[in-house]
Amino acid sequence: MAFNGLSTLWVDSAGRQTVTLIRNGSSGCPIQTQVVGLSAALPLQDWEGPIDQHSPTPSANTYLIGDWAILHYVCADGSQAALMVPAPLPSIFLADGRTVDVSTLTALNTAAIGTLASYSGSLATAYLSGYRKSRAP
């Protein structure tokens, strides 16, 4: 049986956000409607489609899935777009271990500029900055 995935970006009254995934056997997943009725948070965005199954073999790394490199881009209308890199490689940071070294992002920035969009729908025009953030477990 082929499965679909419904991913939802939720927001609470304090503006905090999280993402959930509901694996389901049909499109138009009715489960989310029921979850909404049981939550004080509300869906901000959702997207659904066939699940592409991968077989990754992650390498040992200094930073794990709770660590992120958060990259900020300015967009054509002055808004900003953020791109999050989970479990970032230590080699993308400057010696302080916190600031992203822009020279390590050449290929990513080429892909992101003109493609990455902010919530206003404006496309990224330039890289601004990046830093490492750890999430509490």
Task: Look at residue 61 and tell me if it is in a domain.
Answer: no
Is 55 contained in some domain? no
Tell me, yes or no, whether 122 and 72 share the same domain. Answer: yes
Are residues 71 and 124 located together in one domain of the fold?
Answer: yes
Range of the domain at 25: 4-50
**116 near 83, Cβ under 8 Å?**
yes
43 and 8 fall within a common domain = yes
In a domain, 56, yes or no: no
- Residues 75 and 130 occupy one common structural domain: yes
pTM over cut 0.75: no
Could you tell me if residue 39 is inside a domain? yes
Look up residue 135 and give its DSSP letter: P
Task: Kindly list the distances between the CA atom of residue 135 and the CA atoms of 37, 65, 83, 87, in Å, as whole numbers in the listed order.
Answer: 28, 9, 16, 11
Instruction: Please answer whether residues 123 and 83 qualify as being in contact, where contact means their C-beta atoms are separated by less than 8 angstroms.
Output: no
Q: Is residue 96 situated within a structural domain? A: yes
pLDDT tens over the chain, length 137 residues: 567 888 999 988 888 888 888 877 766 677 788 888 888 999 999 988 887 778 878 777 777 777 889 999 999 999 999 998 888 889 999 999 999 999 999 999 999 999 998 888 889 999 999 999 987 55
Domain shared by 33 and 90, yes or no: no
Asked whether residue 46 falls in the same domain as residue 71, the answer is no
